[in-house]
Amino acid sequence: MPVVALFFLPLLIGSCRGIDHNETDQRVFPVISINYQHVQMPFEISLWILLASILKLGFHLVPHVSAVVPESCVLIVVGLLVGGLIRVLGEDPPVLDSQLFFLCLLPPIILDAGYFLPIRPFMENVGTILTFAVLGTLWSAFFMGVALYGACQLEGAELAGVDLLSCLLFGSIVSAVDPVAVLAVFQEIHINELLHILVFGESLLNDAVTVVLYHLFEEFVHRGEVTAGDVFLGVVCFFVVSVGGVLVGCVYGFLAAFTSRFTAHTRVIEPLFVFLYSYMAYLSAEVFHLSGIMALIACGVVMRPYVEANISHKSYTTIKYFLKMWSSVSETLIFIFLGVSTVAGPHAWNWTFVSLTLVLCLLSRVLGVVGLTFIINKYRMVKLSGKDQFIVAYGGLRGAIAFSLAFLLSSESCAMKDLFLTAVITVIFFTVFVQGMTIRPLVDLLAVKKKKQSKFSVNEEIHTQFLEHLLTGIEDVCGHYGHHHWRDKISRFNKRYMMRFLIGGERSQEPQLISFYKQMELEQTMKMLENNSTTSLSSAATQLHQRSKRTLNISKEREAEIRKMLRANLQKTRQRLRSYSRHTLLPDAEEDDWSETRLRKQRMEMERRMSHFLTVPANRPESPRRARLQTDLDGRAQKASVTFAEELEEHRD
């Protein structure tokens, strides 16, 4: 009753005031009011994220659809339907804003890819990846730009006003492989690790080339002329953008690793440092027009080994699943907004230009991959077969990065912006729908090797490291500085200097296996003491020993951590030894002593055998027969002595 009275109290007060003061009209206190403008932006953002999550959940609940159609295709179709519905209701559909894409949606996907990037296959194939990313992108951009310019001049009429610089600008936009689209498709077909890292690594590293070419040709379009100095500055700009982005990412990665060294008493904020330093690396690179994608990748790769050694297991799990969730939601929103933006327009359709763009996009990709692979295979130990080349060429998908760059074009400087945007959307739809839907059956048809689902056993991993250790020694003996040699040098430098500076506590000194065992032992002892406080330490130790004999039921995450530590510590890095050289080989004193002892024993044994034949009684007359026998024995002994001397000389040589 008091609550009800309190609820109606404003109404009662208002009515009483109305009776006492008839001259003044009092407005009734509003019980419910609507102010949608106050919460419009966060409400719509939450609604879009909720829609994306529900669509992702529903897609995986229908196995017949997910087995045939990629998730990205379904999300684009949903975006088209949502955009059409908004258009029918008389509203303007929202467009994928470039600022929203580059500053909010793209960083989580790149951070997730860079933080969990498989370092070993990436470094083993970094030469091939850079060749495809740099030379392949340059080839596609210039080939498409020149070919489109020639076609526009032959077409005349509508396309006669398209100049060469505008075509080159369009070629730089549509030639780059998109990492978001590649991730969305290749994760579903479970392609083998080599092909996945080649295509995905190319899509990550060609960002520097795309950014430089885009800004370069955009500036040339504004100015209207190009000089030799501009071309030289463009080449310098490429190195500045790529190397500068990597350096910025490395600086923030080391800062994140050093900060995580002091978070032992505040475990709650450990994941926050990982996300903030990564995002600051991306924003700092964008401030100076460097490659933000390269900065994010470098930051994630540098910080991961040191951060994971400092943070707790719960913080590692938080980082892992938050990154996966964040990147998945961003990827879903990107494809939905692509569909909605297609409905929003504006569009300018030209059959000749759009069709030629699509054909040249496929042709330049095939020619670039085949031509570069012909050169690359001369220097690779594991050659890329024809099937591998087909998958690499067919997996060059375009996505939201090309759309955002085309949307950023100014209508004043580029009169054909609407036509370029329509052609880009057509290429994106073709690569995502046609190539994305048919690459899975083509992989099965060509019997391309897929990713191994089961993990390597500890025995296999140890023997693999043993073979790498052996190859490193062989390279040192031969004097060949291959990637095994440099990887060993980097590992030694990391253990001697970087780990001591960036990893706190005893983990930088003792093996992780020992520290992990001590931690488990301490935790189990504390649990037993808490459960039974009256138990003595001796009985607790006995129970701990008996419990250690049983099979422990551990989680998959803890099993993966144990496997990682076993792999890192059971096979030690080789010790520093002098390299062999026949010019500087010094005699070993122990080996000389052993050789002299062996020769002395052999000499004594030979003298004993010879004395057995040469010893004769004193003052005994020799018969002719005995004299002949003695002569024969002397000849044999002399022959044996010569043979022994020859063997001794051969042994010494």
Inside any domain, residue 55: no
Q: Which string of DSSP letters, residue by residue, matches 222-284?
A: HH----HHHHHHHHHHHHHHHHHHHHHHHHHHHHHHHHHTT-TT-GGGHHHHHHHHHHHHHHH
Whether residue 321 sits in one domain with residue 393? yes
Residue 108 vs residues 29, 327, 391, 600: alpha-carbon distances, Å: 46, 5, 27, 76
Inside any domain, residue 243: yes
Residue 464 domain boundaries: 459-506
CATH number at residue 296: 1.20.1530
pLDDT at 520: 65
Inside any domain, residue 488: yes
Whether residue 356 sits in one domain with residue 323? yes
SS3 of 581-635: the string is CCCCCCCCHHHHHHHHHHHHHHHHHHHHHHHHHHCCCCCCCCCHHHHHHHHHHHH
Inside any domain, residue 184: yes
Q: Is 363 exposed, middle or buried (0-12, 13-18, 19+ CB in 10 A)?
A: middle
- Cα gap 129→201, rounded to integer Å: 6
Q: pLDDT tens digit string along 64-81? A: 777 777 778 888 888 888
Angle CA 421–392–285, to nearest 5? 60
Q: What is the dihedral of CA 318, 320, 322, 323, to 10 degrees?
A: 150
The type of residue at 297 is: I
Q: What radius of gyration, in Å, describes the C-alpha atoms of the chain?
A: 38
Q: What is the pTM of this model?
A: 0.70
Below-50 pLDDT ranges, the chain: 1-24, 533-537, 540, 548-551, 571-591, 613-619
- Cα gap 114→30, rounded to integer Å: 53
Whether residue 467 sits in one domain with residue 396? no
Name the residue among 72, 7, 32 with its Cα closest to residue 337.
72
289: left (phi over 0), alpha (psi -120 to 50) or beta: left
Whether residue 486 sits in one domain with residue 337? no
Whether residue 169 sits in one domain with residue 276? yes
Inside any domain, residue 269: yes
Whether residue 123 sits in one domain with residue 259? yes
Inside any domain, residue 110: yes
Residue environment code for 234-268, b if the CB has 16+ CB neighbours within 10 A, otherwise e: beebbebbbebbbebbbbbbbbbbbbbbebeeeee
615: left (phi over 0), alpha (psi -120 to 50) or beta: beta
Whether residue 393 sits in one domain with residue 481? no
Whether residue 435 sits in one domain with residue 497? no
- CB-CB contact of 97 with 341 (8 Å): no
pLDDT at 553: 61
Q: What is the dihedral of CA 69, 74, 77, 81, to 10 degrees?
A: 140
pLDDT at 281: 93
- CB-CB contact of 448 with 192 (8 Å): yes
Question: Which structure tokens are listed for 523?
Answer: 């935790």
Question: Which structure tokens are listed for 131?
Answer: 């060749």
Whether residue 244 sits in one domain with residue 186? yes
Inside any domain, residue 596: no
Long-range Cβ pairs for the range 315-321 (8 Å, 24+): 315/267, 315/270, 315/271, 317/557, 318/270, 318/271, 319/115, 319/270, 319/271, 319/274, 320/116
Name the residue among 3, 382, 337, 65 with its Cα closest to residue 192.
382
Whether residue 477 sits in one domain with residue 409? no
Count, residues in the chain = 653
Give the total number of structural domains in the chain.
Answer: 2
- CB-CB contact of 258 with 504 (8 Å): no
Whether residue 266 sits in one domain with residue 138? yes
Whether residue 109 sits in one domain with residue 226? yes
For 290, residues 6+ apart whose C-beta sits below 8 A from its C-beta are 240, 241, 244, 245, 248
- Cα gap 306→301, rounded to integer Å: 10
Inside any domain, residue 486: yes
